[in-house]
């Protein structure tokens, strides 16, 4: 945090995707004072790099639909959904499959 209480960006995780020979970097976005307390989540960015660390693409997750938890799979990149209902309170994680190769 800076002197005004604004939270700076932060690299949160680095994943290697052996199926596409790519690196996936998750970074939390810079947010204004009080954003997390008000909204209950922090926007994040997925950056995709090749093996030479050349940036291929970048995707922003600005709403509270997905956690920044990824699993590279042969069928695509699995990204964990945010559970918004109590019927899934037993810890069963749900994922969506994303294909960022297009």
So what's the pLDDT on residue 85?
64
Q: For residue range 44-83, what is the model confidence (pLDDT) as tens digits? A: 899 999 999 999 999 999 888 898 899 999 999 999 998 7
- Domain borders along the chain are 10-98
Instruction: Identify the pLDDT of residue 33.
Output: 74
Contact 9, 27 (CB under 8 A): yes
Report whether 46 contacts 25 (CB < 8 A): yes
Res 101: pLDDT: 67
pLDDT at 1 over 50: no
Burial of 99 (0-12, 13-18, 19+ CB in 10 A): exposed
Q: How many CB atoms lie within 10 A of CB 32?
A: 11
């Amino acid at each position: 945090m800076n002197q005004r209480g604004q939270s700076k960006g932060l690299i949160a995780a680095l994943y290697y995707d052996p199926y596409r020979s790519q690196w996936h970097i998750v970074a939390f976005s810079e947010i204004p004072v009080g954003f997390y307390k008000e909204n209950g989540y922090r926007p994040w960015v997925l950056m995709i790099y090749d093996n030479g660390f050349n940036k291929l693409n970048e995707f922003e997750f600005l709403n509270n639909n997905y956690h920044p938890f990824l699993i590279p799979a042969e069928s695509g990149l699995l990204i964990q959904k945010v559970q918004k209902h109590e019927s899934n309170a037993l810890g069963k994680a749900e994922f969506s499959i994303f294909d960022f190769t297009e």
